[in-house]
Chains A and B, each alone.
Chain A
Amino acid sequence: MTAAVRLDRVSCVFGSAGREVRAVDGVDLRIEAGEFFTLLGPSGSGKTTCLRLIGGFQLPTDGRIWIGGQDMSHTPPYARPVNTVFQDYALFPHMNIRDNVAYGLMVRKIDRVTRHRKADELLELVELSGVAERRPGQLSGGQRQRVALARALINQPQVLLLDEPLGALDLKLREQMQAELKALQRRLGITFLFITHDQHEALSMSDRIGVFNRGKLEQVGTPQEVYNAPATRFVAHFVGAANVLDGDIAWQLTGRRSATVRPERIRLGKSEGARASGLVQEIQYFGAFTRLRVQVQALQLQVDLQSQEGALAPDAGSTVHLHWDDGAVTELAPEPAG
């Protein structure tokens, strides 16, 4: 089966010689048809450039981009079977909502009646039937987001590119839209390529995640793989909280040169059989859990305790004994020297 999108050693370099920035650096990637794929990374990691390369707004310096089995490395955006939901939505302010949604059909010279009917169908799909006559400026952020989604879907793209579409929404609305987007993707069966810097969003929505750092893909895998078995220390740090252990103390505590243990995999217990003991330095209460910072020799370990009825967190300054299972430890490549 052909991949929906395939990147073949794609690089994108900005700037001239001397001050070059390799925004995307030799990326190989395969996104299967019907997948909800997320590119996760901090700002400036190259994930947005990667999306713009697939959308055609940026041309690769090197490498090939295949969309639906066709080489589209240098095809202009208007000839690519992908559509984009922009970060700022980019709704046209001089057109009403219906004309915005119908734009993709209008430029293809579809007659007015047909395109208005299709636009109304899509507005119904995103539950915005009542606002067809309004201008973008009269809608709320959440409504604009849905319009942008409807507009990007009207040409029935093979791949939908979403560039941090939920970034501007408040938390409640964002969680609601996450669920709706996921449901919509299942229903339509379109490949979604989603860009975000929010690890919770990536973990909760995606079939697979690609973690970006400094223009390179550090790891590609299911949310479970990425979280439970981070391939690099960057992934361990960026996706969720992590205790990263190096050197003598790593050897002493885990029997490995470098390793990582998630805070929620550490339990408190008796002194017998404890992997480590230390003083509680700091306590942070998060509602669902309480995070302790425990000083073990020169290292500070984070320990997350689930909030349970009647369970009391230890006081700061008290000594605690830490336990974890062998399976909680993930080995990492040793820290490069220097």
Chain B
Amino acid sequence: MNATVLPVRSAGGWQRRLSNLMYTRRGILLLALLAPPLLWFGVVYLGSLFALLAHAFFGLDDFTGQIRYEFTLRNFVDLLEPANVDVAVRSVTMATLVTLSCTVLAFPLAYYMARYCSGPQKAFFYVAVMLPLWSSYLVRLYAWKMLLAKEGAISWLAQALHLQWLLELILSTPAIGGPSLSFSTLGTFIVFVYMWLPFMVLPIQAALERIPPSYLEASSDLGGRPGMTFRRIVLPLALPGIAAGSIFTFSLTLGDYIIPQVIGDSTMYIGQVVYKQQGVAGNLPFAAAFALVPIVVIGVYLWLARRLGAFDAL
């Protein structure tokens, strides 16, 4: 037998000592891996957020327009002005409707992807859902502007199908209508739904994928008709996915200030008010106070979702 014994690497060299140290003290390795993201999250993200929120409790000097670093609740009193309440209510209503529509549109697609697709077909659907995210948000937005415009593709199609009366009827409906789709609340809504749909499809699809087929078979075996199986098994188990998706669609809609500026009548949403106050008006404290509104709304929403058991199946 020709036994060649590999020489044990002699202890020495700082690399060796370092790797030994990391092997014996796992905490050091963990710290080294987690420190950069934690610093980024803690200092840059949370730090800037708290700095912004702290501004909500300062005021603006009426004469100089400079920020006065004195504690005041005046911004919050101003928030309760009817015009501002109006903006908040409109934004939350829009976010809610967008979220509901995204859920209804995304669920069948996600269900099909999770239950019936495999191989190339599944890849096709993944790409189809995510493809819009590969191009710029602004490009897609202006593409929709062209689709929805008075001389755009949709009104051309309505004309070709002799359905112009239907389009006019919709546009003449108060609250959602306007001179053309691109200048209507309905247009804003359509584009919001389009923009955030992928963020709803993917979490629901992931949640549905985790449900073993045997659960559905067991339900059916025990006498559950398809509707019952859907209500009692599929929906409760998909709820964490729906909740995750709705956090995306809801908060993205609440915070956006570009879509309603490009498409829609000139009514304001929270994002636009924050943008204008801190930019044109230079009233950073009031902008900060208004920025608190979506944070509070989403906090309440998450608390409610938890109370209703949306995360029980996690």
Q: Which residues of A contact B (CB under 8 A)?
A: 55-57, 76-78, 82-84, 86-88, 90, 92-94, 103-104, 106-108, 151-152, 154-155
Known contacts A86-B214, A107-B228; decide if A92 and B221 are in contact (CB<8 Å).
Answer: no
27 contacts between A and B (CB under 8 A): A56-B220, A57-B221, A77-B220, A77-B221, A78-B224, A84-B217, A84-B218, A84-B221, A86-B217, A86-B218, A88-B212, A90-B215, A90-B217, A92-B233, A94-B236, A94-B237, A94-B313, A103-B219, A103-B224, A104-B222, A104-B223, A106-B232, A107-B222, A107-B225, A107-B228, A152-B221, A155-B222
Q: Is the CB of A92 within 8 A of B215?
A: yes
Interface of B, secondary structure class, is helix
Q: How far is the CB of A70 from chain B (nearest CB, A)?
A: 17
Q: How far is the CA of A84 from the CA of B221 in the complex (A)?
A: 7
Chain B hits for A108, CB < 8 A: 223
The winner among A92, A106, A152, A154 for most chain B CB atoms within 10 A is A92
User: Of all chain A residues, which has the CB nearest B239?
Assistant: A94
Q: Is the CB of B215 within 8 A of A151?
A: no
Within 8 A of A (CB), among B219-247: 219-225, 228, 232-233, 236-237
Q: How far is the CB of A101 from chain B (nearest CB, A)?
A: 10
User: Of all chain A residues, which has the CB nearest B217?
Assistant: A57
Q: Does B312 contact A (CB under 8 A)?
A: yes
Q: Is the CB of B215 within 8 A of A55?
A: no
Within 8 A of A (CB), among B178-233: 212, 214-215, 217-225, 228, 232-233
Q: Is the CB of A155 within 8 A of B223?
A: yes
How many pairs of residues, A versus B, come closer than 8 Å at their CB atoms?
A: 66
Q: How far is the CB of A250 from chain B (nearest CB, A)?
A: 47
Chain B hits for A57, CB < 8 A: 217, 220-221
Q: Is the CB of A55 within 8 A of B212?
A: no
Q: Is the CB of A93 within 8 A of B313?
A: yes
Q: Is the CB of B214 within 8 A of A90?
A: yes
Q: Which 7 A-B pairs have the closest CB atoms?
A: A104-B222, A90-B214, A90-B218, A77-B220, A107-B224, A94-B313, A84-B221
Q: How far is the CA of A203 from the CA of B249 in the complex (A)?
A: 59
Q: How far is the CB of B224 from chain A (nearest CB, A)?
A: 4
Chain A hits for B237, CB < 8 A: 93-94
